[in-house]
Structure 1
């Protein structure tokens, strides 16, 4: 079992459910970029890992030069790998990778409100539905009105946890645009659009509590 999140990301090389999840996430990032108005597209990625979802999409997308992004990740090895990818794509002047705590609102100041918010691999690492609601309340700080929000949620022990996420999102002014399950049937990927008003300041300085550990990631 992976002992840290850097090792966990190596599972993308062998785990079909993660590979399928990544494929759908990239599909939804492409959709979001295509649907964005002409001009600059602001993107933020929460618990970004090595950024392979966004960066892998931008490698072949015609609007890559329009994207100005901030990716926030705590693991320094993942950040270094992501930075190397950004350099290889020639996007270092547009995309910054912050080695910091993605739960703290200060790490997003200057990059929000965003047109696209990526919160993949996060919802399954929250303690309960109350913590999910807390994060969604604070997403109003990260998201401009009309922003696309991309998310994932794993299923386990016969429970479709993504059903709860979909309900809470829609109750929190995030209208569903698309939703898919992986072919393995145990990973849900969604894209929602924020129809509320942007909050100029977060409701809390700590946007959420990340309680997951690599060997129990959901």
Structure 2
């Protein structure tokens, strides 16, 4: 049902999609539309779909164990929210989540608005803004669940460190951070794990795909939330 919802909305964007070619394996992300970047998720046999399934398993585990009451989630560079949105629709706790999805690409944001119109969710905000700017999070933090899915794969290691260091300004007490990475940034995974370890985070789980093509991690924030510092550059896509 969830994939049908996404596929139905995708038809509304066929004309826009046709204007953007899906790149070959060697293309860089800066050479393509962020909308067409999501096309491999429609292939049930793709690596992206495998990675998505692991992320969604972690999200279901989080909601299954979450305390009763309202929850706040924050998705950085949410894209089309193929990870969280279907879970909010299908999980019994989905209606308890006040979700903020920050996405700079207007076509992806339009896709999200269309998909949301096909659901009964009333507590999802799509913010068209640069997730690399701290001011984009005003009113959306502190969050109980923070998603960094794919972000670390598209930024330099120094920016990854800066983002991990800034997480206490985005996280509520006891927050869960779900992140994933792939491609060339896999070489930085151990360094990123060490950075989490030097901060106020404890590991919950780490999934290394047997073929070595992606990693999905979960950390819990055990420190004190810090005030958001507006006007701060957290990261930039390379």
TM-score, normalized by length of structure 2?
0.82
Unpaired runs of at least 5, structure 1: 212-218
**Structure 1 segment 1-12 matched on structure 2, within 5 A:** 1=23, 3-12=32-41
What SS class does the counterpart of residue 88 from structure 1 fall into?
A: coil
Question: What SS does the aligned partner of 1:52 have?
Answer: coil
Could you tell me how far 1:210 is from its partner in structure 2?
2.1
| Aligned twin of 1:214 | none
Hey, which bits of structure 1, 4+ residues long, moved more than 6 A?
none
Following superposition, the deviation at residue 204 of structure 1 comes to 5.8
Q: Whose radius of gyration is greater, 1 or 2?
A: 2
Distance 1:155 1:10 in 2: 17
Q: Which residue of 2 aligns with 1:80?
A: 110
Q: Give 1:97 shift.
A: 0.5
Deviation at 1:200, TM superposition (A): 1.4
* Aligned twin of 1:215: none
Structure 1 equivalent of residue 171 of structure 2: 143
Equivalent residues of 2:135, 2:231 under 8 A apart: no
Aligned length: 208
What TM-score, normalized by structure 1, do the two folds share?
A: 0.89
Structure 1 counterpart of 2:155: 126
1:89 match: secondary structure: coil
Q: 2:56 aligns with which of 14, 23, 26?
A: 26
Question: In the TM superposition, what are the counterparts of 1:1-218 in structure 2 within 5 Å?
Answer: 1=23, 3-14=32-43, 16-91=46-121, 93-128=122-157, 130-156=158-184, 160-202=187-229, 205-211=232-238
Q: Is the 8 A contact 2:161 2:195 kept in 1?
A: yes
Unaligned runs of 5+ in 2: 1-22, 24-30
Q: Root-mean-square deviation (CA), in Å?
A: 1.8
Q: What's the CA shift for 1:146?
A: 0.7
Distance in 2, matches of 1:135 and 1:203, equals 14
